[in-house]
Amino acid sequence: MRSDPPANAQGWRERARAFALRSVDPVAEAIDREDRVPEEIVRGLAEEGFLGLGIPPAWDGTGADTRSTVAVLEELSRASAAVGVLVAVHLSVCAAPILTWGTDGQREQFLRTLARGERIGAFGLTEPNAGSDTASLATRYVREADGFRLNGTKTFISNAVSAGVVLIFATSDPTRGHKGISAFIVPPGTPGFSVAQRLDKLGLRGSETTELVLTDVRLPPSSLLGAEGDGLRVALGALQGGRVGIASCALGVAEAAFAEMLGAVRADDAEWKRTILARSYADLCSARALVARAAEAKDAGADYVNDASVAKLVASRAAVQIAGAGVDVAGPRGVRSGAAAERLLRDARVFPIVEGTTEIQELILARSLLPNPPGRNPL
């Protein structure tokens, strides 16, 4: 039974922190070791309303603004990055695009069950030879009299093993570049749709990462999300929001790594340890401020492209730096398998890659800042 939603972001943070301490912290090491998020945790996420964040109550969501969502993702990720990323992907790059681009019929069929946590959402964009370069998609679709037919392969797709809804991006003609890309809502179980393999990873273990194969997957006309040719706009809009969510997850990992470090450093320790602690604190404060700024800009309806990219860039970098420093401070204990410092470092190292690499964020920022007309301050 879902609980009544909190009234503000602080209430959501307290709810997420209590859930994480009660249900996630005790099994965080097992999630990493077994590469699986237990079903009872997923049910708990639904019961707490976390899987309906940002979705209006009219579609069975729990509402809440971006500041509330990032607070939840941050607290969940402090306990387990895999749990935080599961929720972030479900909300940002599956439910949100259906809310924004879907018809009422699509929202009725898919969004309600996503909001209630009866289905988990996934996002099928990346391919073996097309990651950040979305114009290089090789997955093809053909329009037929009764709908569409899709063929292709997707890889590094989060949540796909358990997903009840997957957004798939395909092109009608690779020579048309982004103009040929369309987005489709594909329920797993559709004939020709299969999970080819689950990929083993350095970090974010427990977060399902898979390769998908589509072989003559036939879909009705109602599966098209937006209009034909809108696929890149759908994908980029989803990724922009997704970067705020992933930045929040990275922030949670950075906070967990800092807490581990803080518990290992004493006032009379060597100066280098105290210096690392101070530098890590500064990195953490920077990441926290930028994630908050991105969430506030999104809630205000402002153009938050730069805010999302810089938050993702700095938070993922902070997670790696603080987690790495935490292993240094912990010494031999920190590199042992099963140690929190070791797990956090492996988890942190994934964040500069997912939802757009560090290089992509730098490119987005550089393009927006240059050329800079005289008299215009980019800040």
- Tens of pLDDT, residues 331-358: 888 889 889 999 999 999 999 999 989 9
**How many degrees, rounded to 5, is the angle at CA 71 between CA 69 and CA 75?**
120
Q: 63: which DSSP letter?
A: B
- pLDDT at res. 133: 66
Share of the chain above pLDDT 90, in %: 86
For residues 247-274, average pLDDT: 93
Query: 331: which 2 tokens?
Result: 């010494």
CATH T-level fold of 9-118: Butyryl-Coa Dehydrogenase, subunit A; domain 1 (1.10.540)
Q: Which CATH class is domain 123-229?
A: mainly beta
pLDDT digit string, tens, across residues 170-187: 999 988 888 999 999 999
- pLDDT at res. 130: 75
Name the pLDDT band for 377 (thresholds 50, 70, 90).
very low
0.75 exceeded by pTM: yes
Q: Which CATH superfamily is domain 232-369 in?
A: Butyryl-CoA Dehydrogenase, subunit A, domain 3 (1.20.140.10)
Closest CA to 342 of 351, 353, 331: 331
Share of the chain above pLDDT 70, in %: 96
- pLDDT at res. 372: 64
Question: For residues 185 and 78, what is the distance between their CA atoms, to the nearest angstrom?
Answer: 32
Name the pLDDT band for 217 (thresholds 50, 70, 90).
very high
Residue 371: asked if its preceding bond is cis (omega within 30°), the reply is yes
Question: For residues 95 and 121, what is the distance between their CA atoms, to the nearest angstrom?
Answer: 7
**How many degrees, rounded to 5, is the angle at CA 7 between CA 289 and CA 108?**
100
Q: Where do the domains of the chain lie?
A: 9-118, 123-229, 232-369
pLDDT digit string, tens, across residues 294-332: 999 999 999 999 999 999 999 999 999 999 999 999 988
pLDDT digit string, tens, across residues 15-35: 999 999 999 999 999 999 999
Question: For residues 316 and 248, what is the distance between their CA atoms, to the nearest angstrom?
Answer: 9
Of the residues 127, 228, 355, 359, only one is catalytic, namely 355
Is 355 in the active site? yes
